Amino acid sequence: MPEGLGQAIRETARAIAALLEGVTDTTVPVPGLEWTVGETAAHLAVANGLMADLASGRERRYGDGTPQSLAAANAHSLDEFPERGAEPLAAVIVEQADVFLDAADRAVSDGTADRTLLTPLGPMDVTVLASYLLTHMLGHGYDLARGLRRPHMIDQKRVGLCLPFLKTVMPRVAGPAASALTARYALRVRGGAAFGVTFADGRVEVRPEPPERPDCTILTEPVAFLLIALGRLGPWQAMARGGVLAWGRRPWLAPRFPTLFQAP
């Protein structure tokens, strides 16, 4: 796996557990979600277990990749997993992250890390699945931090480790608006990676390098990049805060970019 990814997963799970430490009322609502703190933590516990099973080679069906099916699977899983206590959920989140990392290490050591795993958002290898796990924990870790009014754990290094998943999944979560657009974007994360996303003939293609003549170049501060990607921050909000800059032949395409995708 990319250097630091396993450590980031372990540290993020423990940071989430630290958020939950001492919380006695998990019925507190989470801003922007229909879930409470307890339900959000329970979802993380269930999802970490799902990811650990997938990394271990056990097939688990969880929706068909559409936002509607994933919402239904989330609701069903919460009904099936009634625990809402902060400390027990924190323990499960950490435990299942460790189980995932053990399974990923075994896959690397026995040469099966490149095998295809069927995940809720399509086929991935273990490396991309690890990036998926980190991204998912950071998104809901941010939600818990907001609900509990505590600092979140998203930083530049962790955002960079989310990119393998985000670049893989972009074409799969493109919405109807993407099919009508012809444009070439260069995306740059401040202090980190740069890549290209092109829209043409109803298809979305993510390229490892920015196009030579992009229609729109978007430079985003790392935390803002992830929050926009996960639907936690609007593009206009980010631009007003100085978290996003755009230029090129068609700079007005920048605020439109996040609307081309349907975050699950």
Q: By C-alpha distance, which of 222, 216, 220 is closest to 198?
A: 216
Listed range (8-17, 68-77, 87-96) with the worst mean pLDDT: 68-77
The arithmetic mean of pLDDT across residues 153-182, rounded, is: 95
pLDDT in tens, 185-201: 999 999 988 999 999 99
121 backbone dihedrals φ, ψ, rounded to 5°:
-120, 35
pLDDT in tens, 131-144: 999 999 999 999 99
pLDDT at 111 (0 to 100): 87
**Is pLDDT of 264 > 90?**
no
Side-chain half-sphere exposure of 184, counting CA atoms within 13 A: 10
pLDDT at 34 (0 to 100): 94
* Domain extents in the chain: 5-157, 174-260
Give the CATH class of 174-260: alpha beta
> What confidence tier does 67 reach under pLDDT thresholds 50, 70, 90?
confident
- 5-157 — its CATH code? 1.20.120.450
pLDDT in tens, 10-36: 999 999 999 999 999 999 999 999 999
**Is pLDDT of 53 > 80?**
yes
pLDDT at 27 (0 to 100): 98
The arithmetic mean of pLDDT across residues 123-128, rounded, is: 96
From the number of C-beta atoms within 10 Å of its C-beta (0-12, 13-18, 19+), residue 200 rates as exposed
pLDDT at 263 (0 to 100): 76
